[in-house]
Amino acid sequence: MKPGWLQRKRGGVMIRSEGLPIPRPTCPGEHCMRPNSASLRSLVAGVACAAALGSAQAQEVIRLQVAAGHPPIFLWVKHIKESLMATVDAELKKTGKYRIDWNESYGGTLAKIGSELETMQQGLSDMGIVATVFQSAKLPLNNVTYFVPYGPPDANIVTQAIDYIQGLPELTAEWTKYNTVYLAGFAIDNYGVASNFPINRLEDLKGRKIGGAGPNLAWFRGTGAVGVQGSLNTFYNDIKTGVYEGVVAFATSAVPAKLFEVAPHYTVTNMGAMYAGAVAINKNRWDRLPDEVKAAFRRGANAYKANYIREQTERIEASYAAWQKGGGKVSQLSPEEQIRLVKAMPNPTRDWIKQAGPNGKKVLSAYMDSVRATGYKFTRDFDKE
C-alpha cells in the first residue's frame, strides 16, 4: 500500500481516501470463467419462460358471440358446437396463430326465434342460427323450399340443392342486405302432422286448427283446415291449451319436444324435407377475420352439414320408435290421399314469386331443376304451371 493512502472496504470495493472507487473482483482467479450449474439452470429457465411468453403473445384471440333461438336439443343448434366450432378449433390449433374465445347463448337467451337475423345484423351476436323459415319477408328467396311442398323427403337432396342456389348472386345479395354471410344450411326431415285426432283422408282435416311455422301454413289451403302461427317452442303448450289441434312437424323435432304427450297421432304425409335455416355470421365481423380463420370456418361449415345429415338420418327411424314408446301412434297416409292433398292447394309459388320479386322465378327453377337432376320426380311441377 502506498504511503499517504487510506484504504477501507465499503460494499465490496476499495475506497481511496479521496473517495474514488477502486474496482474489486467479485470472483477472483480462474473461477470467474466457470459458471456454476445453478446459474445455467436459471439461464435455461429464463430463456424458456421468455419463449413461452413470446408464443402466448403471438397468438391472437378472437372473441365471438354465438346465438340461437332454439335450444341445443335440436340438431341444427347441437352441431354448431359439436361440429362447426370443434372443427374451427382443431384447424386453428395446427398453427396456433389464432384462437376463438366462444361465448354461447342458446334457447332464446340472446336472440329469440324469428329475431336471430336482426340480432346478428346489429352485431349483438357475431354468429349463429338464422331460422329463415321465420324470415319470409326479409329472406324470401331463402324460403323457396317451403313453397314447393310434397318435394323430396330426403333432407340430403334438399341440402345439396340449397347449397347450389346459395351460389347464385341473388341469394348472396339477400344475405348481404342484412349484413350477414351464409356459412352452412340445414334441412329438416320429412314433414308430417302430429295431432290429437287421427288423419286417414283429406276430409279429416276439415275445420281443424293446425299450427305451423310461417310458410307451411299455406300447405293447408284448400283442405278445409285452418292454419295458426306457432313454433317448436310453443307447439306443446298450444296444443295442450287448445290453441290448435295439431301441428306440422318432423319426427326428429317432434320427439324431443314430447309432442306425443299432447298430440299422440303422427301421420307421415310426405310433405317433404325443407331448408329451414342456416348458420350465418355478421358480415362486418367476417370481413375482419384473417384468411386462415375464414378457411377454418369453411371447413367447419362442411363438417356441420355432413355431421348434421348423418345424425339426422340415424335419428329418423329411431324417432318413430321413440314416438311409439312414448305412447303415440305412427301411421302412413296413403299415396292416393297424399296426391289429393297436394292437388287441393292452390299453387303456393304464385304468391311467393310476387313477394320474392323478379328473381323468384329464376331461383324457383334453379332449385327444382337441381332436385330433378338427382332423379327425383315432383308430384306437382309448380314451376311449370
Q: Does the pLDDT of residue 331 top 70, yes or no?
A: yes
CATH of the domain at 285: 3.40.190.170
Q: Does the pLDDT of residue 2 top 90, yes or no?
A: no
Span 301-330, average pLDDT: 96
Q: Does the pLDDT of residue 271 top 60, yes or no?
A: yes
> What domain range includes position 75?
57-189+274-318
Q: Which of the two residues, 30 and 176, has the higher pLDDT score?
A: 176
Is 102 a member of any domain?
A: yes
Looking up cell 311449370 gives: 384
Q: What is the pLDDT of residue 45?
A: 52
- Position 233 confidence tier, pLDDT thresholds 50, 70, 90: confident
Which of 61-65, 82-86, 249-253, 288-292 comes out lowest in average pLDDT? 249-253
Q: What are phi and psi of 129, to 5 degrees?
A: -85, 135
3-class secondary structure per residue, 26-60: CCCHHHHHCCCHHHHHHHHHHHHHHHHHHHHHHCE
Q: What is the pLDDT of residue 16?
A: 42
Span 90-109, average pLDDT: 98
pTM of the full structure: 0.80
| Count of domains forming the chain | 1
Q: Which of the two residues, 200 and 27, has the higher pLDDT score?
A: 200
Is 37 a member of any domain?
A: no
Distances (CA, A) of 247 to 7, 74, 75, 167, 223: 104, 17, 20, 33, 15
Q: Does the pLDDT of residue 59 top 90, yes or no?
A: yes
Q: Decide: helix, strand or coil at residue 227.
A: strand
Is 220 a member of any domain?
A: no
Q: Decide: helix, strand or coil at residue 249.
A: strand
Dump pLDDT digits (tens) for 118-141.
999 999 999 999 999 999 999 999
Is 314 a member of any domain?
A: yes
Beta strands in the chain (DSSP E): 8-10, 13-15, 21-22, 60-67, 98-105, 127-130, 180-188, 191-195, 209-212, 226-229, 246-250, 265-268, 274-282, 329-332
Is 173 a member of any domain?
A: yes
Is 148 a member of any domain?
A: yes
Q: Does the pLDDT of residue 359 top 90, yes or no?
A: yes
Is 354 a member of any domain?
A: no
Is 333 a member of any domain?
A: no
